[in-house]
C-alpha cells in the first residue's frame, strides 16, 4: 500500500502536538514560500523555491501549475523527476496527523509524469515514470510506470503507450 512510518502519540490528538514533531519557525517559513510559489507564474522561480528553500528534489523542466500545494511541514520528503507536470491545485502530502499517531512518508513522482488538476497525493506513494493521474484523483497507493489511473481512490484505467522511452 503506502510506505509510511508511524509515530504513536499520547494525550491529545497528534495535530495538537504538531510543534513537538516539526519546528514552528520552519513551518512558518515554508508556508510563506509555498504561498509565493503557488501564485507565481514563473516555473523557474517556483522550482528555485522548491529546490533551494524547501529542499525538494525537482528535475529539470518539471512544471508545477498554479495553486499546487506541497507539504508545509515536510516538503523535503517530496521528489519529482524531470519533465513532469503537476496540475492545478494538486496537493502533495508527506504527512498525516491522526488521533493516536502521525505518519510520515516519502512521495516520489517519476519523470515524464502527468498529474491532473485537483489531485491529492498521500504520503508514502511512488508514481512511476510516464504515469498519468486523472484530474480529481486521490492517489493512496503506488502507481506503476506507464499506467493511467483516475478516481477516488485512484484505480488503474489502462496502460499508457510509450511515446519514446528514455
β-strand partners of 91 = 69, 120
* Torsion 21-36-85-59 (CA) sign: negative
Q: 68 lies in a domain?
A: yes
Q: What is the mean pLDDT of the chain?
A: 95
Residue 166: per-residue pLDDT: 55
Q: 163 lies in a domain?
A: no
Q: 165 lies in a domain?
A: no
In tens, the pLDDT along 88-119 reads 999 999 999 999 999 999 999 999 999 999 99
Q: Which helix (H) or strand (E) holds 46?
A: helix 43-48
Q: 113 lies in a domain?
A: yes
Q: 166 lies in a domain?
A: no
Q: How far apart are CA 46 and CA 78, in angstroms?
A: 15
In tens, the pLDDT along 119-165 reads 999 999 999 999 999 999 999 999 999 999 999 999 999 998 877 65
Q: Which helix (H) or strand (E) holds 36?
A: helix 24-39
Residue 1: per-residue pLDDT: 62
Active site annotation includes 61: no
Residue 2: per-residue pLDDT: 86
CB 164 within 8 Å of CB 150: no
Q: What is the pTM of this model?
A: 0.94
Q: 111 lies in a domain?
A: yes
Total structural domains within the chain: 1
Average pLDDT in the 15-26 region? 93
- Name every residue whose Cβ is closer than 8 Å to that of residue 142 and which is 6 or more positions away in sequence: 2, 125, 126, 127, 128
Enter the DSSP assignment of 143: B
The grid coordinates of residue 124 equal 508514502
Range of the domain at 104: 5-158
Of the listed ranges 11-25, 57-71, 117-131, the least confidently predicted one is: 11-25
The grid coordinates of residue 144 equal 506503476
Q: 164 lies in a domain?
A: no
The grid coordinates of residue 152 equal 477516488
CATH number, domain with residue 45: 2.160.10.10
Residues in the chain: 166
Residue 131: per-residue pLDDT: 98
The dihedrals phi and psi of 32, each to the nearest 5 degrees, come to: -60, -50
Q: 10 lies in a domain?
A: yes
Q: How confident is the model at residue 73 (pLDDT cuts 50, 70, 90)?
A: very high
CB 21 within 8 Å of CB 6: no
Amino acid at each position: 500500500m503506502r510506505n509510511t512510518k508511524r509515530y504513536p502519540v499520547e494525550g491529545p490528538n497528534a495535530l495538537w502536538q504538531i510543534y513537538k514533531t516539526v519546528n514552528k519557525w520552519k513551518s512558518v517559513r515554508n508556508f510563506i514560500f509555498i504561498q509565493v510559489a503557488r501564485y507565481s507564474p514563473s516555473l523557474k522561480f517556483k522550482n528555485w523555491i522548491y529546490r533551494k528553500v524547501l529542499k525538494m528534489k525537482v528535475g529539470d523542466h518539471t512544471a508545477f501549475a498554479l495553486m499546487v500545494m506541497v507539504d508545509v511541514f515536510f516538503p523535503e520528503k517530496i521528489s519529482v523527476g524531470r519533465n513532469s507536470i503537476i496540475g492545478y491545485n494538486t496537493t502533495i502530502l508527506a504527512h498525516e496527523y491522526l488521533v493516536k499517531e502521525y505518519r510520515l512518508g516519502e512521495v516520489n513522482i517519476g519523470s515524464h509524469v502527468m498529474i491532473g488538476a485537483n489531485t491529492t497525493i498521500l504520503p508514502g506513494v511512488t508514481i512511476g515514470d510516464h504515469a498519468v493521474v486523472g484530474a480529481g484523483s486521490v492517489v493512496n497507493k503506488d502507481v506503476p510506470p506507464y499506467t493511467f489511473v483516475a478516481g477516488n481512490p485512484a484505480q488503474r484505467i489502462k496502460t499508457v503507450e510509450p511515446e519514446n522511452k528514455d
